[in-house]
Structure 1
């Protein structure tokens, strides 16, 4: 049975091509949604970009017919802008205030009333990213759904982890150590492995015997890790996932590395230590570029005084904290003198990355879970020849209003690149910052 989908404004601001995700059903855009999109199109951020994209897309639809009468999309869906059914009389007892949300609810409710008396009634479904909007719709007897087509995985727990644990026969581990490699197709014929995926094999007869390896580029053999246990600028891997992360960070044949994990698992510190080692000691890259998205936690502090570096300092302080630890600075101002003298470390905001080409650099993007798909695409397309980029963050700590664990830019890259030869991923699980930090990450 075909359905009628009424789209909330936030669906189009999250995915400007959302109307192509509803197969051959009917898609209704209330007129008030156009007003809300118009009010957002002057924003100089991702929301403004999407508002402008939707405006241009709807304008192009006019070539196919009058939008208030309905046009057929390439997916077979009937798309129309609803100018009628806007009466608030059905809602006035429950929601007295005249708001844009209530006007959208009124359209959906009035459409449902009309369908209920038709010979072949169709379900009317309100689609919104706003949880309270869905709650209000449910209270009115409307079917309400979240927009899920922008998610690359169903749940956060299903996100690719970068490693796999297996119980194996003793002979497999012995063969692996003897030959320093293991043919995967003969040893595990029923399993599928991704390039640069890690395997943790445990002896099924004696769990204390184990082996760690990395799947090769072709996904056919398991190979020994190349990275040794020598410290990187005083930092050494403390657990098996950190050891896997070091392997990915130090390999030149893997230009894209993604790392996820809770606060305190060592993502930023490991990435900075690996970058400094390859820039200052090995001279594999010319410069270390560290950037973070400017997304506040809680209420924004507003405009900041000073030059660009002074304005950025509060946002970039987590990076400077880790650099102070790596350089073992004792007094305030010592780190600034060191960085000025080196000249090979650049701490930047992602605001200034558009239009750049960045060759021969080790690039670290922190808090990448606050990036949208479009923003992460913009960043990755800036990477020049001979550069390596590391995207890291915690998908459970998102400050962006329209993102969640399943549709943010970091998760998008992890899932889209997991079967690519140029990319590697690892999820860090054990906190190493302190016992209190690990307990807080687990309990809160």
Structure 2
């Protein structure tokens, strides 16, 4: 049975290409959705960019025919801007206010009832599905008896299959002995069914139950298992406290891996490890000209509005978590000391991601914190800014998202992790054990 998909505004503002994601089915854009898109097109952020993109796509399709009559899509479906089916009478008793959401729901309900009448009369009808990223809209649709779904086409993986960056394999003790004798193993020696990615870490454990083990990294060509190059020596005073932190430092300090992604709960050490590695590479080894640290300006809870002062003063509340970690690394004693240190060094720059568009950034160690609050397009924009000789680190916690239409598997960080996991120039690590404090670890686990 063919389907009719009625799209909510937030789907198109999240992904303007969504109109092509429904195969050979009919795609309906209610007229009220065009009004909402029109109200967003002047915004300077990504919502405005997406509103302008979908406007241009629809205008291009307008040249192929009348949108209210239906335009054929490449996948065999039809796109239609719906001007009818907008009667609000059937929703009047349940949802008295004719808000934009309720007007869009009315279109979906009227389509649903019309198709049900066709099916009951023995004629061919279609199954109507409302697609929205708004949970309450989906709940309202369910109350009305209309099927509602989240927009899932942009998800690269289900939550349970997120790439961790390492795998634990149980092998015969002779395999571990062979590694320690020759300092490498061929991947085919393991005879494992699990596909190993370039720069993925492998923990070998004795299948006989002894304490014998080994920690290895898959080579960039994916054919060999090699030992870690780094010892567990401190990096700017920071020593890895668990295996995942040690593996993360291996990626952060490897100049042959220009893209590193880190994810993990609060307190697992993502920011501290990245800053320590960046300071070593910039200040000690002079591998990079500058350490650039940036994070998106997304508030947790109610926005505090406009802030007084110059750009640096406005950004300070948003960047304070970065300064807290820098104060720890530089072991400052008094308030304001870190500002004097950074001013004296001149090679450390703390920025908001607002100012990164249009830049080209060569020869720098770039750290992007809270990357889980970025969309796919924003992550693409950031990574495409990276110039020759630069290294970029994306990190965040996919479970702590403040963006209204992103979740743990549709955010930019997760998208980058999954898309780059097969590439030899990237590496990923999931940090699992909290090291901030026992209280912080319990809070991350229990709350």
**Normalising by the residue count of structure 1, what TM-score does the alignment of the two structures yield?**
0.99
Q: Residue by residue, what CA displacement relative to the aligned partner does 1:273-293 show, whole Å, maximum 9, x if unpaired?
A: 001111111111111000000
Long gaps (5+) in structure 1: none
Long gaps (5+) in structure 2: none
Residue of structure 1 aligned with 2:320, choices 311, 317, 320: 317
1:228-239 correspondence runs (5 A): 228-239=231-242
Query: Cα offset for 1:46?
Result: 1.0
Q: Which residue of structure 2 aligns with residue 192 of structure 1?
A: 195
Q: Which residue of structure 2 aligns with residue 353 of structure 1?
A: 356
Indicate the RMSD between aligned Cα atoms, in angstroms: 0.8
Q: Which moved more, 1:34-43 or 1:115-124?
A: 115-124
Q: Is the aligned partner of 1:147 residue 2:167?
A: no
Residue of structure 1 aligned with 2:423, choices 420, 424, 429: 420
Q: Is the aligned partner of 1:337 residue 2:340?
A: yes
Secondary structure of 2:194's aligned partner:
coil
Q: Is the aligned partner of 1:160 residue 2:179?
A: no
Residue of structure 1 aligned with 2:207, choices 204, 209, 217: 204
Count of aligned residue pairs for this structure pair: 443
The whole-number CA distance in structure 2 between the counterparts of 1:82 and 1:334 is: 61
The whole-number CA distance in structure 2 between the counterparts of 1:207 and 1:352 is: 54
Query: Cα offset for 1:163?
Result: 0.2
Q: Residue by residue, what CA displacement relative to the aligned partner does 1:366-402 show, whole Å, maximum 9, x if unpaired?
A: 0000011111111111111111100000000000111
Contact 2:171 2:190 (8 Å CA) reproduced:
no
The whole-number CA distance in structure 2 between the counterparts of 1:393 and 1:187 is: 33
Q: Which residue of structure 1 aligns with residue 62 of structure 2?
A: 62
Q: Is the aligned partner of 1:39 residue 2:39?
A: yes
Query: Cα offset for 1:112?
Result: 1.4
The whole-number CA distance in structure 1 between the counterparts of 2:222 and 2:434 is: 30
Q: Which residue of structure 1 aligns with residue 135 of structure 2?
A: 131
Q: Residue by residue, what CA displacement relative to the aligned partner does 1:35-58 show, whole Å, maximum 9, x if unpaired?
A: 010011111111111111111111
Residue of structure 1 aligned with 2:410, choices 407, 410, 435: 407
Query: Cα offset for 1:206?
Result: 3.0
Secondary structure of 2:231's aligned partner:
coil
Q: Which moved more, 1:279-288 or 1:426-435?
A: 279-288
The whole-number CA distance in structure 2 between the counterparts of 1:138 and 1:377 is: 35
Query: Cα offset for 1:207?
Result: 3.9
Q: Which moved more, 1:247-256 or 1:40-49?
A: 40-49
Secondary structure of 1:90's aligned partner:
helix
Q: Which residue of structure 1 aligns with residue 51 of structure 2?
A: 51
Q: Which residue of structure 2 aligns with residue 440 of structure 1?
A: 443
The whole-number CA distance in structure 2 between the counterparts of 1:328 and 1:186 is: 47
The whole-number CA distance in structure 2 between the counterparts of 1:292 and 1:44 is: 18
**Normalising by the residue count of structure 2, what TM-score does the alignment of the two structures yield?**
0.98
Query: Cα offset for 1:129?
Result: 0.5
Q: Is the aligned partner of 1:429 residue 2:428?
A: no
The whole-number CA distance in structure 2 between the counterparts of 1:431 and 1:438 is: 5
Moved over 3 A (4+): none
Q: Is the aligned partner of 1:104 residue 2:104?
A: yes
Q: Which residue of structure 1 aligns with residue 126 of structure 2?
A: 122
The whole-number CA distance in structure 1 between the counterparts of 2:210 and 2:309 is: 59
The whole-number CA distance in structure 2 between the counterparts of 1:92 and 1:187 is: 66
Query: Cα offset for 1:189?
Result: 4.9
The whole-number CA distance in structure 2 between the counterparts of 1:441 and 1:246 is: 23
Residue of structure 1 aligned with 2:389, choices 386, 389, 393: 386
Q: Which residue of structure 1 aligns with residue 89 of structure 2?
A: 89
